[in-house]
Amino acid sequence: MQSFTTVSLKGLTSEHWNRTRFLPCRGSRAFFIYSRENAGSACRIEKFYDIMGLIAEKSTDGRLSSDNGPLSVGKEENSQMKATIGCPMKQLQCGGCPLLDVPYPEQLRRKQKTIESLFGRFCHPEPIIGMETPFHYRNKAIATFSSARGKLACGIYAAHTHHVVPVKDCLLQDSRINEIIGAALFSAAKCHLPAYDEDRGTGFLRHMVVRRGTSTGEISVTVVTPSEYFPASRNFVRSLLEKCPDVTTVVQNINPCHTSAVLGTEEKILFGSGFIRDRLCGNTFCISPRAFYQVNPSQTERLYQTALEFSGLTGKEQVIDAYCGIGTISLAAAKYAGDVLGMEINGDAVRDACWNARLNGCENVDFIRGDAGKLMTEMAKEGGKADLVFLDPPREGASRQFLVSLLRLAPSRIVYISCEPSTLARDSALLIKGGYEIRRVRPVDMFPHTQHIETVCLLVRCRKRQDGKL
């Protein structure tokens, strides 16, 4: 058995909090785990924080296990699992569809089981919402350029490497996007544009990002380069448009940094307006190359409909949309709320959100740039209140400082949209300690054939903190 240390939530530093995850253990229970290298996969576990008085066992291979078997959602449970569809990229260690060999109903069952393990002690999680056709659902693709045997190629990184696997027809990406990538590769090769070599710092083409508005058919192609100078840019655009006249805009993104980030901060429009439009939940959105926009449009509709259902809006509420991005949730909620205030730290996203509000004629929505946690703390000090807060943070979840500010504001309801169940469980633990209880949980399968799970959680304030501390 592994030894444990019982600690309070207050004892966790910000650094620890960001690397802390809840993982399912012994049926419907959960515990805190902190790992220096990889909290999500529980590798090389450094410390356990047993804040719920539970005990877990560590197997000899370093993975945590419970009475229900391995914690990994994607690991096959028996040898009788048969492939649902073959993909030649899997033999090349593509890694984009780790669950492709698992029948889709079984994928949904496993994901449901994970959610029930994490949240079953708080409520009865509702059935996961799956897709009718779980292929070619992604409206965005990122391709990395490379040189293969002296020829220009592009594709995605093989799992856990920087080796680029050429991909011609990805089963997850929109079919038209696959064709656009092939056409852009042909045009780049025709113009003799070399791939960027990150080790030597030579070459030109780093990445390509293609987006397609599912409802409008508009397409953007963003070419990422290390410098502003783009030789033969007009010839490249002309060749691409000859093969793909439905491309709406072509943008050059300049990223000279030696980081894993795909996009840089500087852009240059080579053709068109620099953005595309798409419709979501009855609203039209302008989407620029660096804007966050959910990649599975049909499931995003179901995700946001679930969030609105959980919110219980009556048309009178004061609503805050933290991490609002370009305003997708804000504008969807505005139809059913009194007033909506979107908070976002990214200035470009705030600009896009304001434009989208005007585009859709939403007069009861405002957007403000700044850290949502600090903004809510100031609101609480000035006596401001909110009836409901939506939050849709990145995969690492909300910061502890943000959650503390949320408790100070004390909205009556919180709708938490999460793309990582383990951090949702971690954050919910602090909110529960602060006087909230989980009322409803519903998973949505936004990313079929992967381990990722999107979850909507409703928390309702049921009491005040007795000690005033966390």
Q: With 0-12 CB in 10 A as exposed, 13-18 as middle and 19+ as buried, what is 323?
A: buried
How distant is the alpha carbon of residue 229 from its chain centre?
32
In what side-by-side order are the strands of the sheet with 318-322?
A: 365-369, 339-344, 318-322, 388-391, 413-418, 454-461, 436-444
Give the integer Cα–Cα distance in Å for 380 and 400: 17
| Of residues 251, 260, 189, 187, the one with CA closest to residue 225 | 251
CA atoms within 13 A on the CB side of 232: 14
Q: Do 310 and 347 contact (CB within 8 A), yes or no?
A: no
- CA distances from residue 354 to 59, 304, 362, 455 in whole angstroms, order as listed: 52, 20, 10, 27
Q: Do 4 and 57 contact (CB within 8 A), yes or no?
A: no
For residue 40, the tally of other CB atoms under 10 A from its CB is 16
For residue 201, the tally of other CB atoms under 10 A from its CB is 10
| Of residues 353, 296, 330, 360, the one with CA closest to residue 132 | 296
> Where does 149-265 show beta strands of DSSP type E?
151-157, 164-166, 207-212, 219-225, 247-254
Catalytic residue among 324, 362, 419, 457: 419
Which positions ≥6 away from 71 have C-beta within 8 Å? 23, 24, 25, 42, 63, 64, 65
- The span from the first CA to the last CA of the chain, in angstroms, equals 30
Q: Supply 113's token pair.
A: 């089981």
Instruction: Let me know if 419 is a catalytic residue.
Output: yes
Residue with the two structure tokens 């690397």: 19
For residue 1, the tally of other CB atoms under 10 A from its CB is 7
Give the integer Cα–Cα distance in Å for 458 and 113: 19
φ, ψ at 361 (rounded to 5°): 65, 30
Pairing mode, if any, of strands 454-461 and 29-38? unpaired
Identity at 423, one-letter amino acid code: T
Residues designated catalytic = 419
